[in-house]
């Protein structure tokens, strides 16, 4: 039930084949070869046809209840990066579809995912993030250990006899893989998170995120979780909606590479300029096993159901924006948590540039993407627009919504066969 942190990768070390399983390396090389082939031939892969879906999928209470039950309480969710909780006692709280979660690193380095609710009468034990040797309920003073065990009851003689072993905090299955913390929000799940990742954890292992540094985080309220996340899944909107921020000359095309329900979204070759370390187009070939693996990591990584990883190079240092979209308690609510991580501890100038970049990305999402999504939600709720269209150039959206439909139909017993096949496209 508890994840143990792997700290074998060190900051600044080249991302090489040592960070990858042979199957993951082969998969990344295969995708790189396909991408370079399209670049050389000036071709563009598209979905077979336009996909039509019900607009009510975004506003239906019944649909949302099914998603909460059959996706957000069955599928492993990335709720944090390992480097957000680097030390024993570090904790972070999040809420997913009304479920309050407390993530804690214990003294032995393992991670725990607990229901953030005192077993006396349900009060929250912690808020935000911080560090604590133990957790004391602010309502009546019951105290819990970092692993959720009930340590003490205030005025025990007055309260009466209880079974302290049975009154620990509820624990969720949790795994710490490739520098990310994955949780299944069902204490009674028959599955472990590591068994349902479809091999995507093996592929993102090449980032070495377990040794990175947390920089800053922000939370952006938004509409339905799927509307909030759809913009991560296509670049068709970028030169239009983001013309004042990213610029009107950005390509609106994208290449898509699926890995089970997960995927990568990769832009075509950009304008000439200084090449970043992960610029596969500039390298022009698949890197050899002895070379840094960075060019194989090009693009935006999408971890199902609603997480994206984007790479940036402020002041020449690599960082990633980890965006986690979490559904709220109601169908019309979500929150996007933007967390910026640095590959190595930034100096003062780099930290300033990272802060400026974070503010810019917060503006792009908070003032451009999310207000657009909120308007879509308002229109869909009228029932006057019964359908939406996902174009042949929006393969990421077709893949995403297809997997939602597939998982809503799958039984618990079918999940391992659907999700546990590493490095095989579904």
Domain coordinates of the chain in residue numbers? 17-76+198-419, 77-196
Q: For the domain covering 77-196, report its CATH number.
A: 2.102.10.10
Closest CA to 305 of 399, 373, 425, 377: 399
Fold of 17-76+198-419: Naphthalene 1,2-dioxygenase Alpha Subunit; Chain A, domain 1 (3.90.380)
Task: Provide φ and ψ at 357, rounded to 5°.
Answer: -65, -40
pLDDT at 275: 72
What is the chain's pLDDT, residue by residue, as a tens digit (426 residues)?
444 333 333 334 444 445 788 999 999 999 999 999 999 999 999 999 999 999 999 999 999 999 999 999 999 999 999 999 999 999 999 999 999 999 999 999 999 999 999 999 999 999 999 999 999 999 999 999 999 999 999 999 999 999 999 999 999 999 999 999 999 999 999 999 999 999 999 999 999 999 999 999 999 999 999 999 999 999 999 999 999 999 999 999 999 999 999 999 999 998 766 678 899 999 999 999 999 999 999 999 999 999 999 999 999 999 999 999 999 999 999 999 999 999 999 999 999 999 999 999 999 999 999 999 999 999 999 999 999 999 999 999 999 999 999 999 999 999 999 997 554 443
From CA 426, how far away is CA 132, in angstroms rounded? 42
> What tokens appear for 178 in the block?
């490739």
For CA atoms 99, 105, 107, 109, give the dihedral sign. positive
pLDDT at 19: 73
Beta strands in 223-333 (DSSP E): 255-259, 262-266, 300-303, 307-312, 319-327
Q: What angle do CA 313, 314, 317 make, to 5 degrees?
A: 60
From CA 248, how far away is CA 244, in angstroms rounded? 7
Task: Provide φ and ψ at 21, rounded to 5°.
Answer: -70, 155
Do domains 17-76+198-419 and 77-196 share one topology? The answer is no
């Amino acid at each position: 039930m508890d994840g143990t942190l792997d700290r074998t990768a060190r900051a600044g070390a080249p991302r090489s084949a040592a960070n990858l399983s042979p199957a993951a390396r082969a998969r990344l090389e295969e995708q790189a070869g396909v991408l370079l082939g399209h670049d050389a031939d000036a071709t563009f892969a598209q979905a077979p046809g336009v996909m039509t879906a019900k607009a009510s999928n975004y506003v239906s209470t019944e649909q949302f209840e099914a998603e909460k039950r059959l996706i957000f309480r069955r599928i492993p969710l990335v709720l944090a990066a390992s480097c957000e909780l680097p030390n024993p006692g570090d904790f972070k709280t999040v809420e997913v579809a009304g479920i309050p979660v407390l993530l804690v690193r214990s003294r032995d380095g393992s991670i725990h995912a607990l229901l953030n609710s005192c077993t006396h009468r349900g009060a929250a034990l912690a808020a935000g993030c911080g560090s604590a040797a133990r957790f004391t309920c602010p309502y009546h003073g019951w105290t819990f250990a970092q692993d959720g065990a009930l340590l003490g009851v205030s005025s025990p003689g007055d309260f009466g006899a209880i079974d302290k072993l049975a009154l620990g905090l509820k624990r969720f299955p949790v795994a710490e893989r490739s520098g990310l913390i994955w949780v299944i929000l069902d204490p009674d799940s028959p599955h472990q998170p590591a068994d349902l990742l479809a091999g995507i954890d093996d592929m993102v292992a090449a980032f070495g995120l377990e040794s990175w540094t947390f920089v800053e985080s922000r939370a952006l309220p938004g509409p339905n979780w799927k509307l909030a996340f759809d913009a991560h899944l296509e670049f068709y909107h970028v030169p239009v909606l983001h013309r004042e921020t990213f610029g009107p000359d950005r390509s609106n095309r994208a290449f898509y590479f699926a890995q089970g329900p997960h995927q990568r979204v990769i832009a075509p070759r950009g304008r000439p300029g200084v090449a970043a370390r992960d610029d596969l187009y500039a390298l022009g070939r698949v890197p050899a096993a002895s070379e840094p693996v960075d060019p194989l990591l090009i693009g935006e990584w999408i971890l199902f159901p609603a997480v994206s990883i984007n790479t940036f190079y402020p002041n020449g240092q690599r960082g990633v924006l980890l965006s986690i979209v979490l559904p709220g308690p109601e169908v019309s609510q979500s929150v996007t948590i933007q967390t910026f991580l640095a590959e190595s501890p930034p100096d003062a100038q780099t930290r300033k540039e990272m802060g400026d970049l974070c503010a810019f990305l917060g503006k792009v999402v908070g003032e451009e993407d999310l207000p657009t999504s909120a308007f879509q939600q308002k229109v869909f709720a009228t029932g006057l627009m019964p359908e939406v269209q996902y174009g042949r150039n929006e393969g990421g959206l077709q893949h995403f919504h297809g997997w939602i439909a597939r998982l809503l139909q799958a039984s618990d017993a079918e999940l391992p066969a659907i999700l546990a096949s590493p490095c095989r496209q579904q």
